[in-house]
Structure 1
Amino acid sequence: MIPMKKILWTLFLIAYSFTAFSQSYFDDGLSSEWHSQRREELRKLMPASSVAVFFNNPVKNRTNDVDFIYHPNTDFFYLTGFREPNAVLVVFSEKREVNGKLVDELIFVQNRDPRAEMWNGKRMGIEGMKNELGFEEALLNTDFGTKSGINLQDFDKILTFSLSEEIEESSANQPLNQMIDEFKTATAYPDKLNEISAQVYKMIKTSDLETSDRVIQMLKRYERQYPEMMQDPLINSFMNAESPEKRMLVKDEMPDQKLDITSLASMMSVLREVKTPEEIALLKKAVMISAVGQIEVMKAAKVGMTEREIQGVHEFIYKRYGAEELGYPSIVGGGNNGCILHYIENDKRDLNDRLLLMDLGAEWRGYTADVTRTIPINGKFNAEEKAIYELVYLAQEAGIAISKPGVTFQEIDAAGRQIINDGLANLGIIKKGESHMYFPHGTSHHIGLDVHDRGTRDPLKEGNVFTIEPGIYIPEGSDCDPKWWGIGVRIEDDILITKDGAVNLSEAAPRTIAAIEEMMRLPSVLEEWVLPEID
């Protein structure tokens, strides 16, 4: 007889060998009708006689037999609302007969499995996809490929994303790997195909005698960054052809490809950059939760706290409101750590009287905020900190002031960058007109399902939600007076574009010097929360 302890230990190990991908759906999230309408909008952008194939994200291992909490591919979630792995969405540009039914989309999902669901939560299965997510036709992922009734070669264009990255080999990913293998076989997917080679082929195929010189200049820039592309004989021949006429001969040798791994990304960027009212409502909630986190930290912050303690206060606020995740790893940098743009270690133990830069965002029903505030840990900006902070604030104000439909990210960036450049020169940190690295990043990016969300670089439109985040970072050892060393300031707000201009969704979190210092004088609800000492 096997001892009971051994049985329980075996069951424990089995439990942790399963993947953490249980469902998490919300009554106050996006509706199945909303996702269905997004698929309809995608069809409007697809060329005639085309099919779009979306694979959901693989499971990623954290360590040993523990996986990271599953996060769906955001394009997949946008179109389906589905949050399980080992799934494929197939969208047709027009209705097609599949297995005797006329449909314009199919979704392939994992089956119901009572044993797996006991450990990891309920799966949707075929009936759930139909009844809860509104799909007319759903199939098991084991039916993807030759069993599905779809012949991909019947389409003029097959739209998907690059499948060049290796997926972790594990039992959790076995169904996904099988489906990708089936897809590659059905489409004769080239071994070395990736986004770069696909873009290069597209540039060459669309060139002519008049534009080929310009294409060559673009390819030379690509070559410096991706020298391996010259291993492709057709690209090499095109680059080294002696004349535009001979380039056209090489172009004619290039096969017409049904498989397109570049256009779908552009279509999804067009769809996702303009937020619907439903998306804006979710983003407002995510942003407001993040703003409250900044407010409560301003009240709780004091000399002697740790970066991780500050991080914990922010994230506690998020969880207290019911936010399911962080939009990205929290950045909490004290002193010189604030000069590291993506500092996520957050392990400084004793915050002194320097500045504290906090870049964090709650994820609410899939949508993420991105709010940054910089505060003096002792509650009072010194003269040098004030001077730098005021420059960043004025730069942000300039960007917000001009934000409206028709304005570009480049114009917003230029408005703030000019203020920062002139201000740094006036402070003697740089010489007038001198190039510098104290403001090394762009000022804006779209936010949504991803913190750096899909979107074009077109002029702003009503419904865009994006950041304005100028910054100045003067790390220790910089070529300026040491009194400026270790000052890092970023102010980041989330901006909605309406027909009337810009709305600052995160304005509840103080961002002027006076308002921050006033907030930091207020008592914190956490002051009475004293935990026991642990050796």
Structure 2
Amino acid sequence: MPTAHQARRERVLEAIHPGALLVFAAPVALRNNDVEHEYRQHSDFYYLTGFDEPESVLLLRSEAPHFVLFVRPRDPERETWDGPRAGVEGARSLFGADEAYPIAELDERLPDLLKGMPRLYYALGGEGDARVLAALAKLRRRERQGAEWPTALIEPAEVLHELRLRKEPEEIELMRRAIAITREAHLAVMRAARPGAHEYELEAILRRVFREAGSERPAYSPIVGSGPNATILHHRKNDRRMNDGELVLVDAGCEYGYYAADVTRTFPVSKRFDATQRAVYEVVLAAQLAAIERVRPGSTVQDVHAAALDVIVDGLIELGLVEGPRTIALEEKRYQTFFMHGTSHWLGMDVHDVGRYRRGGAPRPLEPGMVLTVEPGIYVPQSAGIDPRFAGIGVRIEDDVLVGPDGPVVLSADVPKTVEEVERACAG
């Protein structure tokens, strides 16, 4: 029975035949001086191999050997410092490579491995460009000797990212686990929020719950925005003191098995919404529910956004924040002061996952197996002319939704969302 990674490689090989695909591992990134950031493998590389070491290169060939890895060799001294390496033998025995070589031999061996391949799928713009172009130049110089070489250099996203866009059952299960952990973290911060606490205290709880449950890392830097900070879409300082009577917006998800969760909830610091906060919240919730209903085969991401926008505009007019009539408000985009972003993005190994949103110049239809977020919001700035009752209120509600054969499957449905559910969760 092939592993998930092997099955993915086989689908890629079928799609690129005749040709080769080349992916470089993510580089190690320096944080400052000689201190490194935590290492995370390039999602494409991990998707096809399950191999999470740096200084590695993957080559898939439509002719044998089909699966070739270049990796760091075993090095007892370095492994004492940095941990064990699979090495060349491990690349074969543990990860199933047909052939494996030390990474130092890449420049020497790559031309021969690309010889006879009419097409090379490789994403230009990375650290491997010079080495790939040097290998192609070396083959070009051998043309008079009868060498054939890749004359077409093709962006691999058209093959690889289209596969990643449609999730297999084992991928959905990993996402469900990431979301289940994320749920526990959101419940924990709802219980812990109180006047006088700081945003970073909630961030610390999120990170602790993620890690205690076996998550490798947050899928992105947690956003904890209280009071007016909730109107900053990507607020990340998380350093403000929370006050009585405010809302706090928490946008946080963990990563599990290289798959991301992305969930946002907004809740009252003092455990209960006041009437104004509740009015704004109910508009956002109604917009989200309308948008989720559009997540079904044949709809588009633009349809999902349009469904949310219709409800948001009606709500803003009713609240007195936007002047109607509705058609003019939409035409003149009067809502953009309060709702300025799209409603959805793909979700998977990357929190903003890969895959095109348009095909043939038109929005692409949703298909079963795709996963996207649904996250409308209302953000009322503290500006002159704004009704002071609403100024500084920010509300976003975000769920992770699978396109099922018959409609939406809300993977994060267990995270409290209605006003009553949120207040119960805050009360503990």
Taking a change above 3 Å as real, the CA distance of residues 309 and 519 of structure 1, as seen in their structure-2 partners, is same
Task: Give, in angstroms, the shift of residue 330 of structure 1.
Answer: 0.5
The residue number in structure 2 matching 1:277 is: 169
Kindly indicate whether the alpha-carbon contact (under 8 Å) linking 1:429 and 1:481 is maintained by their aligned counterparts in 2.
yes
Task: Give, in angstroms, the shift of residue 383 of structure 1.
Answer: 1.7
Alignment counterpart, residue 45 of structure 1, candidates 15, 36, 43: 15
Kindly indicate whether the alpha-carbon contact (under 8 Å) linking 2:165 and 2:370 is maintained by their aligned counterparts in 1.
yes
Instruction: Note the residue ranges of structure 2 that are not aligned, 5 or more in a row.
Output: 139-149, 358-363
Q: Which has the larger radius of gyration?
A: 1
| One-letter code aligned to 1:501 | G
The residue number in structure 2 matching 1:244 is: none
Alignment counterpart, residue 50 of structure 2, candidates 81, 97, 103: 81
The residue number in structure 2 matching 1:456 is: 356
Q: Distance in 2 between matches of 1:182 and 1:314?
A: 42
The residue number in structure 2 matching 1:215 is: none
| One-letter code aligned to 1:499 | P
| One-letter code aligned to 1:381 | F
Task: Give, in angstroms, the shift of residue 180 of structure 1.
Answer: 4.8
The residue number in structure 2 matching 1:130 is: 92
Taking a change above 3 Å as real, the CA distance of residues 397 and 478 of structure 1, as seen in their structure-2 partners, is farther
Q: Distance in 2 between matches of 1:307 and 1:342?
A: 14
SS, match of residue 483 in structure 1: coil
Matched, 1:35 2:2: no
Matched, 1:440 2:340: yes
Q: Distance in 1 between matches of 2:416 and 2:210?
A: 18
Stretches of 4+ moved more than 4 A in 1?
Answer: none
- CA deviations on 1:138-173 (whole Å, 9 max, x unpaired) are 11111112335625353322221123x5x5xxxxxx
The residue number in structure 2 matching 1:400 is: 292
Task: Give, in angstroms, the shift of residue 386 of structure 1.
Answer: 1.0
SS, match of residue 154 in structure 1: coil
Instruction: With a CA cutoff of 8 Å and minimum separation of 6, indicate the structure with the bigger relative contact order.
Output: 2
Q: Distance in 1 between matches of 2:116 and 2:22?
A: 14
Kindly indicate whether the alpha-carbon contact (under 8 Å) linking 1:478 and 1:485 is maintained by their aligned counterparts in 2.
no
Kindly indicate whether the alpha-carbon contact (under 8 Å) linking 2:231 and 2:394 is maintained by their aligned counterparts in 1.
yes
| One-letter code aligned to 1:260 | L
Task: Give, in angstroms, the shift of residue 67 of structure 1.
Answer: 0.5
Matched, 1:428 2:334: no
Alignment counterpart, residue 156 of structure 1, candidates 112, 118, 138: 118
Q: Distance in 1 between matches of 2:233 and 2:240?
A: 16
Alignment counterpart, residue 121 of structure 1, candidates 83, 88, 96: 83
Q: Distance in 1 between matches of 2:248 and 2:186?
A: 12
RMSD: 2.0
Kindly indicate whether the alpha-carbon contact (under 8 Å) linking 1:54 and 1:89 is maintained by their aligned counterparts in 2.
yes
After TM superposition, list the pairs within 5 Å mapping 1:499-514 onto structure 2. 499-514=405-420
- CA deviations on 1:208-261 (whole Å, 9 max, x unpaired) are xxxxxxxxxxxxxxxxxxxxxxxxxxxxxxxxxxxxxxxxxxxxxxxxx93535
Stretch deviating more after TM superposition (180-189 or 484-493): 180-189
Stretch deviating more after TM superposition (361-370 or 140-149): 140-149
Matched, 1:183 2:132: yes
The residue number in structure 2 matching 1:316 is: 208
The residue number in structure 1 matching 2:68 is: 106
Task: Give, in angstroms, the shift of residue 476 of structure 1.
Answer: 1.1
The residue number in structure 2 matching 1:518 is: 424
Q: Distance in 2 between matches of 1:45 and 1:308?
A: 47
Kindly indicate whether the alpha-carbon contact (under 8 Å) linking 2:157 and 2:355 is maintained by their aligned counterparts in 1.
no
After TM superposition, list the pairs within 5 Å mapping 1:49-448 onto structure 2. 49-92=18-61, 94-95=62-63, 102-148=64-110, 150=112, 152=114, 154-163=116-125, 180-188=129-137, 258-261=151-154, 263-432=155-324, 433-434=328-329, 435=333, 436-448=336-348
Kindly indicate whether the alpha-carbon contact (under 8 Å) linking 2:286 and 2:311 is maintained by their aligned counterparts in 1.
yes
Task: Give, in angstroms, the shift of residue 478 of structure 1.
Answer: 5.6
SS, match of residue 23 in structure 2: strand
Q: Distance in 2 between matches of 1:135 and 1:340?
A: 47
The residue number in structure 2 matching 1:468 is: 374
Instruction: Count how many residue pairs are aligned between Structure 1 and Structure 2.
Output: 404
TM-score by length of 1: 0.73
- CA deviations on 1:75-121 (whole Å, 9 max, x unpaired) are 011011111111111112x21xxxxxx31221111111101110111
Q: Distance in 2 between matches of 1:33 and 1:52?
A: 20
SS, match of residue 489 in structure 1: strand
Task: Give, in angstroms, the shift of residue 187 of structure 1.
Answer: 2.5
Task: Give, in angstroms, the shift of residue 456 of structure 1.
Answer: 2.9
Q: Distance in 2 between matches of 1:259 and 1:338?
A: 48
Kindly indicate whether the alpha-carbon contact (under 8 Å) linking 1:187 and 1:259 is maintained by their aligned counterparts in 2.
no
SS, match of residue 144 in structure 1: helix
Kindly indicate whether the alpha-carbon contact (under 8 Å) linking 2:194 and 2:242 is maintained by their aligned counterparts in 1.
no
Kindly indicate whether the alpha-carbon contact (under 8 Å) linking 1:56 and 1:86 is maintained by their aligned counterparts in 2.
yes
Q: Distance in 2 between matches of 1:187 and 1:151?
A: 11
Task: Give, in angstroms, the shift of residue 402 of structure 1.
Answer: 2.5
The residue number in structure 2 matching 1:99 is: none
Q: Distance in 2 between matches of 1:151 and 1:136?
A: 13
Q: Distance in 1 between matches of 2:180 and 2:85?
A: 32
- CA deviations on 1:407-449 (whole Å, 9 max, x unpaired) are 1111111011000011101211111233223111111111111
Instruction: Note the residue ranges of structure 1 that are not aligned, 5 or more in a row.
Output: 1-30, 96-101, 168-178, 190-256, 523-535
Task: Give, in angstroms, the shift of residue 513 of structure 1.
Answer: 0.8
TM-score by length of 2: 0.90
Q: Distance in 1 between matches of 2:241 and 2:276?
A: 24
| One-letter code aligned to 1:53 | L
Kindly indicate whether the alpha-carbon contact (under 8 Å) linking 1:107 and 1:139 is maintained by their aligned counterparts in 2.
yes
Q: Distance in 1 between matches of 2:115 and 2:178?
A: 43
| One-letter code aligned to 1:456 | R
- CA deviations on 1:442-476 (whole Å, 9 max, x unpaired) are 11111111001112322221111211111111121
The residue number in structure 1 matching 2:360 is: none
Q: Distance in 2 between matches of 1:265 and 1:478?
A: 46
